[in-house]
Every structure is written in C-alpha cells, then in structure tokens.
Amino acid sequence: WLLSTLPSLMIFDDHDIRDDWNTSAQWRREMEATAWWQGRIVGGLASYWVYQHLGNLSPAERAEDEIWSKVAEHHGEAELDLTATLDAFAARVDQEPDSYRWSYARDIGKSRLVVVDSRAARVLRPEQRSILDAAEMAWLDEQMRGDVDHLLVGTSLPFLLGPGLHRMEAWNEAITSGGWGSRLQPFGEWIRQAADLEHWAAFQEGFRQVAGMAIEVAL
C-alpha cells in the first residue's frame, strides 16, 4: 500500500531477473542455451518497465519514451493491448543494451540524483569487460557535471569494497580473461560464479573510469 501511494525511484538488480544476471559472457551463453531464459528476461524487463521504470522518468522523459508514447496516443474506449509490443521491446533491449537507457537522473532542488543501471548495460566480451557500455559511460560523465550543491550517485552494487575483496575480484577478472594463461580461465570462471565475484571491482575498466569521474568532481 505504501509504495502504491508514494512516488519511488528504484533500479533493478540480478535477483529481479536471475542470480548473477550478466556476470560474464559464459554465464549469458549458459542461460541462453536453456529453454526458459528468453521468457524470463522478456517478462522481467517488460514488468519492470510497467511497474517501476515509468515512475523513474520525469514527465518530459516519459513523453519521449517509445512505449509510453503509444499509451499517450491511444484514444477511445477500446482496450489497448501492448503485450506484444512490450515483449518485442524487452527482447530487443536485452540483446541491444545501447538501444534503451534504464539509468536515469533527477534534479531535486539544488541536488542531483543519478541512478546507474549496472546490470543490463554491461559489456561482457572477454577482451573488453565493463560494467557500463560506452554510451552509458558517456551519459554518466555528462550527468556528473553541472552546478549542483549535492551530487548523489546510486547503483545497485557496492562501488567500494574492502581492499581484500576488491583485489580478489580484480584478480579473478584477470585470471578469467587469460592474464595467467588459458589453462586457468575455466577455474577463474568457476570461482567467479560460485563466489559471486561480479561487483564493480570485477569490471576494472569501468570501475577506474567511474572512480576517475568521482575524483574529478570532488576536486
């Protein structure tokens, strides 16, 4: 009842879809080989758009949204069924993350809240892993600039970990990417999935870029 009567700003994480969602390229291959994954990801993203993402958007952003525009254009008493449209949309943005942005920013007085999608926008290629793709990274950099008194950046995953855990995740990424030879890669992937080593520290390229942005703002 409370959430149905108060505005809320949220972002999804892995357990809204499946544990370890988008941990690695191998994880994605394993999921896409199952008979149930396509229905799971399509249903999850479509439901999130309906029940939460619309509330994250400002009125101007909502007016420009490709799905909401179809709702706004509907007139008359006939029922509008967007099931097929939403399913096609969710399937597309899962395969083409740069075709839609789940991240958002809201200015609240002289403060800015930036909420980052750290799941769906990941780059999982072994030779180039990043928790945010290039378009998301450029968008985040733009949002972190400007004349505001307070800048708040939210992400569903902890950005800073204890030094030991941070180094373990970075080490695991290096091993799984072949930094210590191809023979250890399967072992590294097994550890990654078994121990849930998939926070920002496990995507060192993206971590360093965002850390640099934060330091630049602070200075």
Is pLDDT above 90 for 132?
A: yes
Is pLDDT above 80 for 77?
A: no
Percent residues over pLDDT 90 in the chain:
76
Residue where the block lists tokens 């399913």 = 87
Task: Average the pLDDT over 183-195 and give the result.
Answer: 91
Q: Which tokens in the block code for residue 140?
A: 């985040």
Is pLDDT above 90 for 139?
A: yes
CA distance 97 to 131: 12
Give the three-class secondary structure for 94: helix
Is pLDDT above 90 for 22?
A: yes
Give the three-class secondary structure for 190: helix
Is pLDDT above 80 for 93?
A: yes
- Cα 199-202-208 angle, rounded to 5 deg: 100
The answer, as to whether pTM is greater than 0.85, is yes
Percent residues over pLDDT 70 in the chain:
100
